[in-house]
Each structure stands twice: as structure tokens, then as C-alpha cells.
Structure 1
Amino acid sequence: MLKRAGQEHGEVVVKKSGGKHQHEEHNSAWKVAFADFCLALMCLFLVLWVLAARDKEEIEMAMAAGAAPNMTYQGQGVRMIGEYQPGSLIPKNPVRPQAQEETGGQPRVQKLLDSPEELAQLSRRVREVGEQVGLGDHIVTAVTAEGLRITVHDTEQSGMFKLGSAEPTAEFVRLLRRIGPMFREIDNQLVIAGHTDALPYSSHSAFAASNWSLSMQRALAARGHMMLGGMPERSVLQVIGMAEVAPADPEQPQAAINRRVELLVTTKAHAQNVHQTFGRLPVSEPLTPGLQSSPADTPMLELLRKVLLQPLQGEAQAKP
């Protein structure tokens, strides 16, 4: 033992190692730590991948619904608009029509349903799908002069959309995606109309959220999910929002049955009328000198027009 210099007490102990631990840094302990690090990193990437896949699905649903803001009820008797946080953009890649893929590039032969019997058969198919997805009590169908009218309405127990929003419930999504492929088989065009109850929004600004915007967004959501189910885009003739102006139960304007989405499978004649109403304006033709008139749209008016024009045409031919 050595004594420390300048001190009377205390001893310095020098321990010499035998050198048997000089290679401990070369053992396999670091491999266990590295394996734990790799496992944690893999779990992190897996979680990020799941979150990205979920966000993409939510974005697709939002885009299919017209990118509508999330509207919610708040308080008694009024609606409030909530927050909406858009996600990342979905790449726009060209998609080949599904109907051509299944037929080897050849267009599918479609049938035009125009008789009441054919429309009634389609009605039964829709009601069968409604029973299968648990919405049989929500569906009302009727064959009219304009076509097959399919109404999917709320009940006091459940609704087609989340309260005050344009986000459909899971049952309604299943219904829409299962009846969408039916329109690949027929050549009829579809009018989609959204309806709300009479419960107003708290804001009355001209550009604020209202029952008009809510009903339109719900109709667009129905269109989007039917297209995701396989309905061709050209099958849609018109998408409209009716707000609360056409209640199913006028005596109770805030009743659940007034909140509904209607699908009108149009006949050929009604579809042509819609095209003419909102299409190109008719060319004006002179009825008499100095007087302009649009062409007649009915046989009676056309006959009257010919009778009135006959004397003028005779005078014109008699002139040298």
C-alpha cells in the first residue's frame, strides 16, 4: 500500500485488473438494443400508414359528398355550422370506365325502362335491397307519370345522415352503393333531390349555411356514393336541393319524414322535357311583321300558328 504524499492518514489502493473484461464491448448486448429500436421504428411506420389510409378514405367520402362542411345541431330550434378540416389532395388519375372493362372495351347494351310494369320491377329490386341493409321502413316507392319515385326518409328512431350534416350513415351508404350498379343496366336518367325539415339555421346571412345548402349537399352525397357503387356519371340528369319547401308532412314541418332524399328514375318523355326546359332556348320566328314569338310546344298551338301564317304566306306568294 502506498501513502498519499503530504498526508499522514489515508492510503491509496491500486487495483490491477487481470484483463478478462477488456473485450466486453464485443459481446451481443448491442444487438438486442438495435433489434428493439428496429421493432419500434417498424411499429411507427405501420401506424403512420394506417393513419394515411384512413385519411384518404375520409377525403374520398368528402369529395364524393361535394366537399361539404360538417354541419351540426347546437342548441334548441336552430342549426350551427361546424368546423371542416380538409385533408391532402387525392391524385387525379385517369380511370377507365368499369362497364367497358367488364365487356372488353365494348359498350354495355342498356335497356330503357318506360312502362309502369318495368318501373315496378325496378321498384321491387330497390325495396329488396332496402330490406337487406335494414332500411326497409325508410323506403317508399311509387310509379308516376314522370317515372319511378324512390323516397328514402328519416324516422324518429334513425336517420339517413348524421344530425345536421351531409355525412351519411353506414346503412345509407350500403344502400346507395348497392343500388348504384342497377343504373348500369338501364338507360334511364336520374333526378336526385334532397329535402330537409323546417328547422332553421341560426345565421340568416345570404351566403351562410342554410337548409338550401344542406339539402343540396345531401343530394350530392347520395350521387357520390351511388357512383362509388358503380353508377355511371351520365345516369344523373339533375341534382337539386329543395330545402323545406316541399315537406312530406305539411302538418308537421319539423317531422323526421320531411328529411329525405328522393330518386326519380325518369321516363324518356320526362327526361326530354327537363332537357328542353334547361337546354338551348328556342329560336324565335316572326309570327306577324314586328312581332316575335317562340315556336309552339303543343299540337294545338302549332295548328293555330299555321292557320295564322297561311294568309301571310299566300300574300307573299301572290306578290311578283
Structure 2
Amino acid sequence: MAGQSNAAPVIIKRKKVIQAGGHHGGAWKVAYADFVTAMMAFFLLMWLLNATTEKQRKGIADYFNPTIPVNRISGGGEDAFGGDSVFSEEVLAQSGTGASNLYPTEDRQARGQTGADAAGKAEEQALRDLEKQLLARSGESMTMERALRHVVTRITDEGLVIELHDIEGSTLFDGDTAAPNPVLRDLAQVVAETFLLVTNKVAVNGHTRAYPITLIDNPVWDLSAARAQEMRRILESAAFPAERMQRVTGFADRKPVTADPRAARNGRLEIVLLRRDR
């Protein structure tokens, strides 16, 4: 078959189709930026923890804490905006009853720091100074240094507690009686002289070691009370004012300070210089 000379040529075009994944958007960029920011903050935190002192870290923490307390009660006055400020005269917001730092009466108390707080801090410091002054007596003589082995002091919510306790081979009283040994009289003289520097009330607590339960007549109650009363008499004979004695109590063996309630260490007297609000 003969070809046609006037036939149009057939042109075949081949298109290369590229299968693309499509457009993913920019969400991954946001996530990556958040991750980088978080890592930067983490490393900054690690650096601050390593490069700052405890006091500096507390200052940084306080900077990010709110300084204005939120309270459902109103601010400085009894009525709406009745006070000069939502703050107390010195530091924190008041409870809304119109209290002030200068006149913190019982029915007009502020929640913030008041004159009572300052007085409490001053009394705490006074108790600590008195404690140091008492313990400093150990350098006066060898006799006083040996006597002060019987003394343990601590400051509690009740006040300054001066504990006089028995030691194996050296007791405050003669046997199982309320007759004081010379070491107790020496210690009582020092305590009385120290307490004369202040005007706080004083309490005396007597404690004994435990006795065998097989005893028909257990002396712990009578003995602890008698020893506490004897301590009161010794203090008063050392020129301590009797009107400052608040209470004298015997606790028997009910409050041991060692695992063995029959240990000599549990035989003790507690002389408490009470806080002024006690």
C-alpha cells in the first residue's frame, strides 16, 4: 500500500509527571520554635541554679511571685475605700477591719506585720541572748563547768526551757528523794541570777525516771511534784521573786526523753521562762 504524501505527521509529546508530596503547611516550624525556646529556657534555668547563691535564687523567685495578697475581705477601711490604702502602714494588706500598725487592738487586727510581730521578734532575740548568757557561765570555774553538764537549753513556743537532768554518777537529788544535792543549788543560783535580767513569768516542771511496775507504791507522781516544789523554794531562796512563779507541775514518768524510760537521764527539772503572752 502506497503512503499518502500529503498526510500530516503525528507528533507524540511525552510529559514527565512528578508526584509531589503536596504542601504541608508551617505547623512544624511553630513546633520547632517552641522546642528551641523551651530548651533555651531550660539551659538558662540550669545556669542560674549553678551560678547564683541561695539568697539570690530566693530573690529571683520572689520577683515572679505576686506581692499583693488576694482576699475576699476589703482593704484598709471598714467601708468601701474607707482606708488610705489597700496596704497596712508597713507591708501587707489589712483584713478590712481598719487596723493599723500603730494601734493593733484585739478587734482591729491586720493580717500584715504589726507592732505585735515586731515585739515577738524582739522577745525571741531576748530569749536567745539570755540562753547564750547562761551557757557562757561555763568558763567561770571548773566547778561551774562540771555543773553545766547537767544543763540543756532550748527555745520553744512556750518560752526558754532550761532543763536540769541527772547524769549517771551525778544526780540532782539524793537518791529517790527530794533532797537537793549541792550541784542543784549551784545551778539554781545561776538560773535565778540570769532570770533576774528579765521580768517574764516562770514555770517549773518535775520529771522522774520510770520505776519497776512491780512496786506496790510507785513514787513517781509524788516525787516529781515534790522535786518541782523544792526547785521553786531554792529559786526563791536565791532572791528570785515569788510573784513571778506562774506554776509548779509534776509530770511523773509520763514524758521520757530516752528510749529507756528507766534511764537516769529522764530524772530532770524543766525551768521555763515563759513568753509574755503565756
TM value normalised by structure 1: 0.45
| 1:257/1:183 CA distance change after superposition, 3 Å | same
C-alpha distance after superposition, 1:148-206 (max 9, x if no partner):
0111111113111111010111111111023213333311111100100011487645x
Deviation (angstroms), 1:146: 1.3
Name 1:266's counterpart in structure 2. Answer: 274
Matches within 5 A, 1:1-320: 115-129=123-137, 132=141, 133=144, 134-200=146-212, 204=216, 210-249=219-258, 251-269=259-277, 271=278
Q: Is residue 123–residue 141 contact of structure 1 (8 Å, CA) maintained in 2?
A: yes
| 1:224/1:114 CA distance change after superposition, 3 Å | farther
Equivalents in 2 of 1:202, 1:173: separation in Å?
33
Structure 1 gap segments, 5+ residues each: 1-111, 272-320
Deviation (angstroms), 1:113: 9.8
2:261 alignment partner, SS class? coil
Deviation (angstroms), 1:254: 0.6
Deviation (angstroms), 1:114: 6.0
C-alpha distance after superposition, 1:219-269 (max 9, x if no partner):
1111111111110001110100010000011x2011111000001111012
> Quick check: which has more Rg, 1 or 2?
2
Q: Is residue 114–residue 267 contact of structure 1 (8 Å, CA) maintained in 2?
A: no
| 1:177/1:136 CA distance change after superposition, 3 Å | closer
Tell me the C-alpha RMSD between the 2 structures.
2.2
Work out the number of aligned pairs and report it: 155
2:161 alignment partner, SS class? strand
Structure 2 gap segments, 5+ residues each: 1-119
2:206 alignment partner, SS class? strand
| 1:114/1:195 CA distance change after superposition, 3 Å | farther
2:179 alignment partner, SS class? coil
| 1:122/1:222 CA distance change after superposition, 3 Å | same
Name 1:88's counterpart in structure 2. Answer: none
1:124 alignment partner, SS class? helix
TM value normalised by structure 2: 0.52
Equivalents in 2 of 1:212, 1:199: separation in Å?
11
What residue identity is the alignment partner of 2:134?
V
